[in-house]
Structures are given as C-alpha cells and as structure tokens.
Amino acid sequence: MTDKLIIFDTTLRDGEQSPGASMTREEKVRIARQLERLRVDVIEAGFAAASNGDFEAVRAIAGQIKESTVCSLARANDRDISRAAEALAGAARSRIHTFIATSPLHMEKKLRMSPEEVLEQARLSVRFARNLCGDIEFSAEDGYRSELDFLARVVEAVIAEGATTINIPDTVGYAIPELYGNFIRQLREKVPNSDKAIWSVHCHNDLGMAVANSLAGVKIGGARQVECTINGLGERAGNCSLEEVVMAVKTRRDYFGLDVGIDTSQIVPASRLVSQTTGFVVQPNKAVVGANAFAHASGIHQDGVLKARDTYEIMRAEDVGWAANKLVLGKLSGRNAFKQRLQELGVDVASEADLNAAFARFKDLADRKSEIFDEDIIALVGDSARAAEPDHYRFVSLSQHSETGERPQARVVLMVGGEEVVVESDGNGPVDATLKAIESKVQSGAEMVLYSVNAITSGSTESQGEVTFRLQLGGRIVNGVGSDPDIVVASAKAYLSALSKLHAGVERVPAQG
Ligand code: KIV
Ligand code: ZN
C-alpha cells in the first residue's frame, strides 16, 4: 500500500450537480486550470454523455490540462463509455469513470434489474471501457448501502476485467465514520484481487460527516483516493470538501502518515473562483476557506497569537493562500504591475486580449475606488472573463434616481443578442426598478430563488459588491454573478448573466438518474 493519497476533484461533475451550480464551458475550463495549479491528481471534468454541452466541456478541459489526469463519468453502458472516451481523446492523461448502483434499493426500484444482471453489466462495461482507456475507475453507486458479499463479487469481477480504481460511494450521506471505515476494510478483505486496484472513497454530506467518513475510509479502510469538491460543493448538502480533507491529512500527518501532492497555497484562490463562478457563497465560519477561519476576535486569543502563533493556530493562513486584504495597486499602477500581481496571485488570463480587458476594468475600478485589494483583482478578472463569453444579454450602463418619499426610477442600457436596447421602469427600490426595467424587455417570467449581496473586501463601504441571482424557470435553475462598487449595477450584471444562462437553455441527463 502506498503512502500517497490521491486527490480526485469532482467539483466540475458532482459539484455541478447542485441545483443552480451549472457552469458554462468557459467557466469549467477556468476552474480546471485552477485545479491543475492546485495540483489535484484527477479532475473529473464532467459527464460527457449527459449533453452536448457537457461533452464539449470535457473535451475542452481534456485539450488544455497537462498535469492532472482528466476524467469523465459514464453510466455502465457502451454508449456513455464511448462518449467519454471520445471527449477525452485529446487528454495527456485520461480516465473513464463508469458506475452502476449495487444496493438492493437502487437495483430493484431504480434500475429494475436483478443483482446478477447488474453484476454482468458492470463486468461488460469495464471490459468495454478497458479497451478504450488504460485507466478505469469503477463506482458502485450507493455502495455503502449494498450487501457486502454481493458488492465483493461485483468488485472482484470488475478488477478482473481491468478496473484500476474501485470507488465505494456513500451516495446518500448515510454513513458514520467508524462504520464506513470498517465497511471499506471488510470489503477489501473479502475481495481476493483487492491489491490490484486503488481503493477510493466518495462521501456525501447529508449528515455533515462527509469529511470524517472519507478520512475514516482512508485510515480504517485503507483507501488511497478521496473524491472531493472545492468548498464541499455538491448535490443536496454537498460532497467531501477538498480543502478540509487535504488540510486534515497535512496538519495531522503524525496520525495519517500520508502525503498529498496539493499546492495548498492555491486553496483559497480555488475556493474564491468556485464561489464566484457558481454564486455559492462560502459561510464565514467554514473551515480553512471561510472569511473567519483565521480571524481571532477575542482579546485572549489575540494576545495569545501575538505572543506565540501556535497558541491558537494549527495552520498558517498564508499556507492555504490567504493574502488578507493586502493593498496592492492604485490608480497609477501600470499594465505590467497589474500583470505581475495577477501572476503572483496565480490568476490565469487566457490571452493578451483578456489581459487588456481586465486591465481596462481595473483602471475603471481604480477611478472609482481609491484602494484596490487582491480580492478586487480576482473579482474583476472573473468579471472580464464573464464579459468575454458570448452572453445573449449584456449590461452596458445604468442611471437611476431614488429620493425619500418618491418611487425609484431606473434606465438601463443593455445589449440583447448584439443589439442595444434602452429600457426604463420604476420599482419599490433601486434594484427592483432596475430588474423591472430589464424584465420589461426580456419577459423571462423566471422566479427569483436567491438574491445575495456580499462585500468582496471586508471592513469598508468602499468595497465592491458581489451579487448573485438564482433564477428558476420550467424546472431549470441558473446562477448569475456580477460585481461592481455600485450594488445596483452589480445586480443588473448578475441578473443579465443569469438570464443569458437561461437563454442558452442547455439540457442534460442527470448522473444519478
Ligand atoms: O454519489 C455517487 O454515488 C456518485 C457516483 C456517480 C460516483 O456521484
Ligand atoms: Zn456523488
């Protein structure tokens, strides 16, 4: 057994399955590049057979990522597996991840297949996949609620067919750490050829134990791969959080005795990027990446930390990429200084044109905001990248008037499919008037399920506002994010971005369907 723990990131596949977290291809590529900088071992880029959009996203990521293995999910059938192989064809290193449910409940009610049929389908699918790719992961969906002897037969059969990684998901987040760890251990003991594959854990967070269960799967069960997502993004209550599992194994190396290849200084930038892209805000008290994770408010703690840091700190903020509100650039800073700071922050700008667009936004921001922090720069690069995408609706300008005792008025200039349109409305407040003006043209009829405003940098009203809208229409949920020092403008940008995603209307097959 090795002492390396493989980090398999599924932010772009399982994470994206959270309602409202769907991402465009460009957004996925941007996140994949950050995951590569983070040095994750495997990037699950998507589920190629789910839709043409998913296929293209996997293909684009496979074409750009050189250091990490790129993986696509596929149900255990020849069509899904062929689509995955096709999408991964350009990858430097690729993996096909095929799965079928093995619990009595899923086999009987969902698949309507007998256990013997499931076993045969698993075997044939891995055989088929192995002819297309040398690196095959097999997942027994709802594995933790499966019958141990049956699961052992399935796993033995797929290893014999050439599966190189065996993943045992706790699909519904039902496990308890000790029980899950023992389950993995017993299963490995029952499978005669268990040493021919790497064992993997994949835990959902329904009872808040995804990280604990994954770590027990490693420590007690002997798993050497953990499947996880940035910020714990994922279906329902989410997946095992990458940052927590990585920092637990690193900080408690004395206990786990394992190495991880992650560049931890890229954790906070990755967390920010995923949160800004999906609009899933990170709670302030979230371990490692929450805004308060390294803040000491009580006098006793502050005093202790000033005297000796390790009195109250078990990790160093800078080791996970916190640059803590550092004032970096101002109005007079030039393009080179801006470019250098982006490089220091590990922010990737795809082309000179993107750099120029981001620099123009920086100058515009510096005219309106005297102090520019690292967080502002990260946000405005995200904004320029969003602006470079072919959105159907795009913000141009806004003027609005509000006065105590009067109904606010808004006038918005926007581009609709390349054509400039001017719209006006009044409303209950400036944001309401702005949205009503936009809706008077777009007439989406979408239901607003979330409107959130966050300050990008803390501690001052000068901060940029970052707005997220989550809209629902006909069973689809999309997020739009926008940032600006003026929160009404940020709201208009976010709303138009969400409407553009609705307009793009991509349909897909659910992974656990
Ligand atoms: O939770 C789960 O079972 C999954 C599998 C498809 C790996 O995400
Ligand atoms: Zn899952």
Decide: 497 in ligand 1 pocket, CB within 6 A: no
| Ligand 1 nearest-atom number relative to CA 172 | 1
- Tell which wins on pLDDT, 12 or 337: 12
Decide: 235 in ligand 1 pocket, CB within 6 A: no
- The model's confidence at residue 358, banded by pLDDT at 50, 70 and 90, is confident
Ligand 2 is a single-atom ion; what residues have CB below 5 A from it? Answer: 14
Pairing of strands 42-46, 409-416: unpaired
Mean pLDDT of 118-141: 98
Amino acid 325: pLDDT:
47
Determine how many CB atoms are found less than 10 A away from the CB of residue 259: 13
> Alpha-carbon distance 181 to 6, whole Å?
17
Decide: 50 in ligand 1 pocket, CB within 6 A: no
| Ligand 1 nearest-atom number relative to CA 141 | 3
Question: Can you read off the two tokens belonging to residue 8?
Answer: 């398999």
Decide: 99 in ligand 1 pocket, CB within 6 A: yes
**Proximal ligand: closest to the CA of 239:** 2
Comparing 6-278 with 390-504, is the CATH topology the same? Answer: no
pTM score of the predicted model: 0.85
**Alpha carbon of 154 to those of 114, 250, 260, 401: distances in Å?**
13, 34, 29, 67
- The model's confidence at residue 330, banded by pLDDT at 50, 70 and 90, is confident
Lowest-confidence segment of 40-44, 51-55, 354-358, 381-385 by average pLDDT: 381-385
Decide: 14 in ligand 1 pocket, CB within 6 A: yes
Decide: 293 in ligand 1 pocket, CB within 6 A: no
- Per-domain boundaries in the chain: 6-278, 335-387, 390-504
Question: Can you read off the two tokens belonging to residue 218?
Answer: 């490693």
pLDDT digit string, tens, across residues 44-96? 999 999 999 999 999 999 999 999 999 999 999 999 999 999 999 999 999 99
Which amino acid residue places its CA nearest to atom 8 of ligand 1? 14
- The model's confidence at residue 388, banded by pLDDT at 50, 70 and 90, is low
pLDDT digit string, tens, across residues 96-108? 999 999 999 999 9
In terms of Cα–Cα distance, which of 266, 256, 145, 276 is closest to 211?
256
**Proximal ligand: closest to the CA of 106:** 1
Contacts of 190 (CB under 8 A, 6+ apart): 148, 149, 152
Per residue in 95-121, is it b (16+ CB within 10 Å) or e — as a string? bbbbbbbbbeebbeeebebebeebbeb
pLDDT digit string, tens, across residues 434-460? 999 999 999 999 999 889 888 776 656
pLDDT digit string, tens, across residues 238-256? 999 999 999 999 999 999 9
Phi and psi at residue 345, in whole multiples of 5°?
A: -80, -5
| Ligand 1 nearest-atom number relative to CA 143 | 3
pLDDT > 70? residue 296: no
| Ligand 1 nearest-atom number relative to CA 239 | 1
> Alpha-carbon distance 392 to 146, whole Å?
46
User: CA-CA-CA-CA torsion for 21, 27, 31, 32, nearest 10 degrees?
Assistant: 110
Amino acid 508: pLDDT:
59
Which amino acid residue places its CA nearest to atom 1 of ligand 1? 171
Amino acid 198: pLDDT:
98
Decide: 80 in ligand 1 pocket, CB within 6 A: no
Lowest-confidence segment of 156-165, 326-335, 391-400 by average pLDDT: 326-335
Query: Amino acid identity, residue 25?
Result: R
Mean pLDDT of 254-282: 94
pLDDT > 90? residue 506: no
Query: Amino acid identity, residue 252?
Result: R
Which amino acid residue places its CA nearest to atom 7 of ligand 1? 139
Three-class DSSP labels, 12-65: CCCHHHCCCCCCCHHHHHHHHHHHHHCCCCEEEEECHHHCHHHHHHHHHHHHHC
Annotated binding site for Mn(2+): 14, 202, 204, 239
Phi and psi at residue 51, in whole multiples of 5°?
A: -170, 165
CATH superfamily of 6-278: Aldolase class I (3.20.20.70)
User: CA-CA-CA-CA torsion for 150, 152, 156, 162, nearest 10 degrees?
Assistant: 100
**Fold annotation for 390-504:** Double Stranded RNA Binding Domain (3.30.160)
pLDDT digit string, tens, across residues 470-505? 888 887 778 888 888 899 999 999 999 889 888 887
182 CA → ligand 2 middle, Å: 20
Decide: 266 in ligand 1 pocket, CB within 6 A: no
Q: How many residues does the chain have?
A: 513
Helix (H, G, I), strand (E, B) or coil at 25: helix
- Tell which wins on pLDDT, 296 or 355: 355
In terms of Cα–Cα distance, which of 432, 511, 508 is closest to 477?
508
Distance of CA 109 to the CA centre of its chain: 31
| Ligand 1 nearest-atom number relative to CA 101 | 3
In terms of Cα–Cα distance, which of 489, 18, 27 is closest to 232?
18
pLDDT > 90? residue 363: no
Residue whose entry in the numeric block shows the structure tokens 């970052």: 466
